[in-house]
Amino acid sequence: YKTITVSWSGYYNSFEGSDCLQFKVGTSLINSWCSSITQNSWIPQNVILTDISSFTSSTQFSFVSAMNGASNDLFYIDGINITGVKY
């Protein structure tokens, strides 16, 4: 594949300060969305991956919460789509 796009709808509630949602490929941080993200509303989001030459059939994508200790920070992810463009 030339590129891979991961898209989803996200809903975020009570993100403040350094609270973030991170998107990782393996252990590598690709992008993060923090307290400046639109909250209390479903929003469409995506990540376009172009450096995929090292991907294998066991490559893992993950959404990781990086919250600052509060228990009331919530995020919901729905409708995850993973698509690729072949050479």
**Predicted local confidence at residue 23, as pLDDT:** 94
- Report the alpha-carbon angle 15-36-23, nearest 5: 75
Structure tokens at 29: 């941080």
d(CA 9, CA 1): 24
What is the model's pLDDT at position 5? 96
Question: What pLDDT, on a 0 to 100 scale, did the predictor assign at position 16?
Answer: 78
List, for residues 33-80, the tens digit of each pLDDT value: 887 788 899 999 999 999 888 888 899 999 998 877 666 778 899 999
Q: What is the pLDDT of residue 7?
A: 96
**pLDDT score at 13:** 86
User: For the chain, how are helix, strand and coil distributed in percent, rounded to 5?
Assistant: 0, 55, 45
- Cα separation, 72 vs 35, whole angstroms: 14
Task: Render pLDDT for 3-29 as a digit per residue (tens, 0 to 9).
Answer: 999 999 999 888 877 888 899 999 999
Measure the CA–CA gap between 57 and 29, rounded to whole angstroms.
19
